[in-house]
Amino acid sequence: MKLLLTGITGQLGTAVAEIAPRRGIEIVPLVRRARPGQVPFERLFPSLAAARVGGDVREPLWGLTDAELDELAQDVDAVVNLAGDTNWAGSGRDLYAVNVLGALGGYEVARELQRRSGRRVVYGYASSIFVAGGTLGRIAETPLAPDRHRTAYEHSKWLAEQELTRRHGPGEPDVLISRVAALLGDSQTGATRKRNSLYLLAERWDELPGRVLPAMRGARVDVLPRDLAAGTLLDALAGLHRSGPRPEPVVTHLSAGERAPSIRGLLEVARAIAPLHFGKWLRLVPASAEQVLWLSANAERFLPLSQAWRNSLTGLRYIGLDRVMERGRLAGLVDGPLPEPSTELLARLLFDLPAPKRPLAPADSGLSRFLA
């Protein structure tokens, strides 16, 4: 396959760029003009510098020219939009421009490439499992109803899903809406492109007021290492491309799903791995869904909070609610097992805990050391 990819410099995009060549997948990155102080793209991805095209997801057809569209139409099999504004404390205008208009622009690009080439082109859009808002229990891989608990970020992702579903029609590009879980660093190296709110909560471990963490009794932490998420996303895109036309967008949960550990289990494993790594221990306080959601959305009304702290407190809802993201549709697209990261791996990545050391045999003080 050959992908036109946005968001390559993000957490998931970086992992896709690392994994794709091993699978024989070519990437054409769509890259915005570098801003002052940014590392140039050619230094970050020297092997992709020649293949890149300039553009902006906020512009119609992502700012691509007719000549560029003609060239891309020759061999691009999928348009994959991983670009997104993930700032939960950001402005509604910016969130709408990137997350909603960008999603619709990507669909128009896929439609135009399919029209010009006469070949089947699919469109992949990275949404978020957090479009579930305050919904509890088992979350199906289907369109979701309005929810008063969604933040501005979550609402923008939900709107994008709604618009893609509304505009999709017969004979148009098949659409994969991939609701992505929170992402941690690489499962092998721990390298991370961005430290999201879960990392921020871990960094503020010693600063949480009262040393308490409110959560529902069955609350889960649904996270994935970024390389596992990237590999599964590529598998799902390939599965959609192999299958026949779909009458409506395919919604999947790119997450740990039923394998996601409980917040209590994750914390206990972390303490068992490295008991001296933590200062005073947190106390999990049973709370209702309404209490968790209210606290995560309203703390700034009573405390002067920085943007990082606001994002961290918003992240409370993502580790404090009792729900399971179903993965049946994802399993139908992916050949092979779904991602099942161990609780120990997730604890090590989240809290930067040292990797386990291989045990060494004690030195042999006997005569065997003289034998050849």
**pLDDT score at 97:** 92
The beta strand positions in the chain, using DSSP E, are 2-6, 26-31, 53-54, 78-81, 122-128, 137-139, 175-180, 182-184, 212-215, 223-225, 250-254, 283-286, 323-325
- Write the single-letter amino acid at 280: K
d(CA 190, CA 354): 11
User: Which one-letter amino acid corresponds to residue 139?
Assistant: I
Count CB-CB contacts under 10 A for residue 228.
Answer: 22
Question: What pLDDT is stored for residue 302 in this prediction?
Answer: 64
Is 114 part of any domain?
Answer: yes
pLDDT of residue 261: 95
Residue-level pLDDT at 316 = 78
- The pLDDT of residue 307 is 67
CA pair distance 268, 265, nearest whole angstrom: 5
Higher pLDDT, residue 210 or 75: 75
On whether residue 244 sits in a domain, the answer given is yes
- Mean of the pLDDT values across residues 192-199? 74
d(CA 264, CA 218): 9
- The count of C-alpha atoms lying within 13 angstroms of the C-alpha of 208, restricted to the half-sphere facing its C-beta, is 20
- The 10s digit of each residue's pLDDT in 104-116 is 999 999 999 999 9
Tokens of 132: 């579930």
In the DSSP assignment, the letter for residue 315 is T
Average pLDDT of span 250-271: 94
Note whether residue 93 is domain-resident: yes
How far apart CA 88 and CA 154 sit, in angstroms, is 8
Looking at residue 303, what is its pLDDT?
Answer: 64
Question: pLDDT for 230-240, tens place per residue?
Answer: 999 999 999 99
Distance CA(62)–CA(54), nearest Å, equals 9
Say if 61 falls within a structural domain. yes
Residue 98 lies in a domain: yes
pLDDT of residue 274: 87
**What are the CA-CA distances from residue 203 to residues 115, 198, 344, 347 (Å)?**
49, 9, 18, 13
Query: String of b and e for 88-101 (b: at least 16 CB within 10 Å)?
Result: bbbeeeebbbbbbb
Give a yes or no: residue 206 inside a domain: no
Q: 372 lies in a domain? A: no
What pLDDT was estimated at residue 372? 52
Average pLDDT of the segment spanning 171-184: 94
For residues 184 and 318, which has the higher predicted lDDT (pLDDT)? 184
Mean pLDDT value of segment 179-194: 89
Identify whether the C-beta of residue 139 lies closer than 8 Å to the C-beta of residue 127.
Answer: no
How many domains does the structure of the chain reveal? 1
- pLDDT for res 370: 52
CATH of the domain at 36: 3.40.50.720
Amino acid occupying residue 126: A
Stretch 58-72: mean pLDDT, rounded? 95
Q: How confident is the model at residue 301 (pLDDT cuts 50, 70, 90)?
A: low
pLDDT, mean over the chain: 87
User: Could you read off the pLDDT of 75-101 as tens digits, one per residue?
Assistant: 999 999 999 887 766 678 889 999 999
* pLDDT for res 300: 66
Interatomic CA distance for residues 123 and 121, integer angstroms = 7
Residue of 268, 249, 31, 279 whose CA lies nearest to 144: 249
Q: Averaged over 129-155, what is the pLDDT?
A: 93
* Backbone CA torsion sign across 247, 101, 105, 102: negative
- Answering whether pTM is above 0.85, one says yes
Residue 13 has pLDDT above 70, yes or no: yes
Domain with 60, as residue range(s), is 2-190+222-258+323-341
Q: Is residue 290 part of a domain?
A: no
The percent of residues above 70 in pLDDT, for the chain, comes to: 88
Helix (H, G, I), strand (E, B) or coil at 258: helix
pLDDT at 74: 93
The predicted structure's pLDDT at residue 269? 93
Q: Is the model's pLDDT at 368 over the cut of 60?
A: no
